[in-house]
Amino acid sequence: MPTAKSLGMNICRVPEYSPEAVAEHTVGLMLTLSRKFHKAYNRIREDNFALDGLMGFTLHGKTVGIIGTGNIGLATIKILVGFGCKILCLDPAPNDAAIALGCQYVNQEQLFKSSDIISLHCPLPATHHIINQETLALVKPNAMLINTSRGGLIDSKAVIDALKSKHLVYLGIDVYELESNLFFENLSGEIMQDDIFTRLSTFPNVLITGHQGFFTEEALSTIAQTTIDNLTKLLNDERIESEFLLYPQL
């Protein structure tokens, strides 16, 4: 950014493209873990129609803790309210729209202790490793943890310990702290060098997707259109709204 400033260049971004896409993926992870869709799919392909090991639980009536109630968090809340969930929220800036939906803002300890499902929707760096050994100790037994936000929110080693001790029963992640060396590449013919990720992937109660929460036709269309709009405004010397600028126009 200092270099861009010295060259008189503006830096534009696409700050939001589809909160609903990530929210739907979040709830998809919850449903897949709770109803074991992934296991059932593999069984049926092998003509195994037995139900043993597929016992799930309903989302209706469960308490879900939403950490971060921006646009994506709010979109997730709207879906979960439709499922009949009780929503607890944690955010330094409460969202009036979430309160209007009946959500209750609580402190961090209360959210961890009371939630059946915890879903992360907050930015870095202030919340780095918000999921750690200490906070996991507060989580109620049989809880589910979902992260479709930033990999750095979770201390992976602490989560592995919680999974091994069976204190944390479900984990669904679309992001990973060291994903830059893994995601968006086909490594099927390679030897996995990340021992932490390899260990996470061995748990039968862990569901991992490769940062695809945003990956919908609608989201990609919005990304392209916003980028084109930014370029057009720059070429025509028009002002760009502040939320689309990483560095203010000179």
Check: CB of residue 72 under 8 Å from CB of residue 120: no
Report d(CA 175, CA 183) in Å as an integer.
Answer: 9
Q: How many CA atoms lie within 13 A of 176 on its CB side?
A: 26
150 belongs to the catalytic site: yes
Q: How far is CA 215 from each of CA 15, 52, 114, 182, rounded to the nearest angstrom?
A: 15, 34, 32, 17
DSSP at 81: H
Amino acid in the structure at residue 194? D
211 belongs to the catalytic site: yes
Candidates 16, 150, 190, 199; catalytic one = 150
Tell me the CA end-to-end span of the chain in Å, nearest whole number: 13
Candidates 25, 121, 177, 179; catalytic one = 179
Check: CB of residue 72 under 8 Å from CB of residue 121: yes
The per-residue b/e assignment along 103-126, b for 16 or more CB within 10 angstroms, e otherwise, is bebbeeeebbebbbbbbbbbeeee
Candidates 35, 211, 241, 243; catalytic one = 211
250 Cβ contact partners less than 8 Å away, ≥ 6 residues apart: 5, 8, 10
Check: CB of residue 207 under 8 Å from CB of residue 180: no
Provide the H-helix boundaries in the chain: 2-6, 19-35, 37-45, 71-83, 96-100, 108-114, 133-138, 156-164, 195-202, 217-235
Give the active site residues. 150, 179, 211
